[in-house]
Amino acid sequence: MRAAAPVLVVVAVLLALAGCSAEPVTPATSPASTDSCRGSGCSPTYEAPSPTPTAAPSAQVGQTVTNKGITLTVKQARAVDSIEMNESSYRAGSGYEKYTKTLPDAGGRFVMVTAHVVNNAQVSLDLTCSLPINTKLIDAQQRNFDAIQDLYKIKGNPECNAQLQPGFEADMTWVYLVPTSASVIGWGFQDTTDLSSTGDFSTVRFDA
């Protein structure tokens, strides 16, 4: 059974997706005086201002990114006209499964993100029927899109409840339904194996 997904939004870290520069720009700031003395004989001392915290820049397709215990490399990200889903009652690899061409809803299109996942977490990962990795597809309006249901039906994906044990790796494809007018600018993911210490999203920049 699919675990209930926490309501999380890719927030400040997405600002790195919209920018063109990989390095954050910190505005110049005048040094602050630490001496309150006044007069001709006074020699005030100064200290440099603390740098402004900034989000980490986004990775590109093909670059490896780590978010807590999840190490992930996006291999491909693109819009597709349709996807193949196993709508039969047979498991993938049984020889009896049958894949059906599935079209997006009217007014929408599919965006497919395929990645290689390495499990460096402390627990196993059910990639398709649980939520060990929370993902969001992001468009130019900073809207966050969830992956479609039944990811285990997508051709090539792990089966439901196929636990990827710590230290092992696998390929995984997420598919998103977005409006045809949406301009996709990237994708974010987050290790949710330990919800008591969930961190920020890591982001990958691409256009689709």
201-to-17, 22, 99, 170 alpha-carbon distances in Å: 12, 17, 33, 21
**Residues 80-133 pLDDT 10s:** 999 999 999 898 888 899 999 999 999 999 999 999 999 999 999 999 999 999
Task: For residue 187, give the 3-state DSSP assignment.
Answer: strand
State the first-to-last Cα distance of the chain, in angstroms, to the nearest integer: 31
**Averaged pLDDT of the chain:** 82
**Residues 173-182 pLDDT 10s:** 999 999 999 9
This prediction's pTM: 0.77
Length of the chain equals: 208
Residues 6+ apart with CB under 8 A from 25: none
Distance CA 3, CA 128 (A): 10
